[in-house]
Structure 1
Amino acid sequence: MTDTVLLVIDAQQSFYHRGYQQTPETPAFEQALSRLIAGCQQKEIPVVDVLHVETEGPFSPASGLVVRLPFLTHQAAHVVKKTVHNALTESGLLQWLEQRQVQHVIVSGIRTEQCCETTARVASDLGYRVTFVTEATLTFPINHNGITLSVADLRHRTESVLIDRFAAIRTVEECLQELA
């Protein structure tokens, strides 16, 4: 039994329904996430799918979009649904991790600076060792007060606030090498 799990956060059709599949970074994200999942499964690291749900809109179960993205064909060890930004506090995932004596979580998925970053911070605060695989996360430009933060800006910001505090920042290859 391993003490590590891979979390695939919010990689669901709800986001692509909003047009996010046309983001220039999407193909690289899909390739990186596919490599990370395949590498973890090869090393017998359980993969947990985390899906975000809301009462209305594309994140509501009634929309039919709260399902994995079509390129994801892996067999998940566990699937949880969440209604808050982090994957741990109200989804039942924390109890599942505790039952399996997991000590290390690998974070990947959609919205680098939101649900992925928030999950990394909460996991660290709860005592987990966290690896954040930025290239296996996806985000989209954000405009606030007339200033647009690009995907590169958001990734840099997330890495800067997580590194040496909440998570180890790794590429897919670095993460998989460390699991060897």
Structure 2
Amino acid sequence: MSAALLVIDVQESFRHRPTWQPAEIPAFSDAVNRLVAASRASGVPVVRVFHLEDEGPFDPSTGFVVPLEGIDAYADHRVNKRVHSALVGTDLLPWLKARGIDRLIISGIRTEQCCETTARHASDLGFKVDYVTEATLTFPIRHSNGREYSTAEIKERTELVLTGRFATIRTVAEIEAELQGQTMQA
């Protein structure tokens, strides 16, 4: 099975949104950087996905559509997208198919949006998906009823709906061990 690491929307644009919260950035950065390092060391391609919009902090003219500070910027391939799934309206799917890649390791920003959407879409297309929740980042969300959901609650919900249907939830340590030649539990 041939894999690729997707680093989805890990870009400076988020630092310029009102929802930005830096508290979880050190752990998130460490997790993503460990995945990138393990992927590079084992020859697994790293794909950087960037979200673009016509205005605001996701507009390329702002200069914010660049890797988030503190994140290893290495990439074997770069994809620019304008929707939630990295597989829609981009060259990612043909790029993956041309290389015989049938497994995706998902990391990035926002756990429940672009990361989850890409994971679901990839699964529906027949990819094996490893979702590394600790290498995803999100921000609290306020429900219309007034309740605010914490990042931990959002991540737990994402794991709940992906597990056994769309993805296998993995830790950074599990992916590192596997990429170093050790067998992971299925």
Q: TM-score range by the shorter chain?
A: over 0.9
Are 1:39 and 2:38 counterparts? yes
Structure 1 length as normaliser, TM-score? Answer: 0.95
How many residues are paired up? Answer: 179
Whether contact under 8 Å (2:67, 2:73) holds in the other structure is: no
Q: Which amino acid is 1:121 matched to?
A: R
Partner of 1:9: 8
Deviation per CA, 1:47-86, whole angstroms, max 9, x where unpaired? Answer: 0000000000000111110111122234210001000001
Q: Could you tell me which runs of 5 or more consecutive residues in structure 1 were left unpaired when the two chains were aligned.
A: none
Displaced runs of 4+ in structure 1, greater than 4 A?
Answer: none
Distance of 1:76 and 1:19 partners within structure 2: 28
Partner of 1:163: 163
Deviation per CA, 1:121-176, whole angstroms, max 9, x where unpaired? Answer: 00000000000000000000000120111000000000000011100101100122
Q: Which moved more, 1:8-17 or 1:169-178?
A: 169-178
Q: Which amino acid is 2:156 matched to?
A: H
Q: CA RMSD in A?
A: 1.3
Once the two structures are aligned, what percentage of the paired residues are identical?
Answer: 54
Following superposition of structure 1 onto structure 2, how do residues 1-180 of structure 1 map, counting pairs within 5 Å? 3-18=2-17, 22-145=21-144, 146-179=146-179, 180=181
Distance of 1:49 and 1:128 partners within structure 2: 18
SS of the equivalent of 2:108 reads strand
Structure 2 length as normaliser, TM-score? Answer: 0.92
SS of the equivalent of 1:25 reads helix
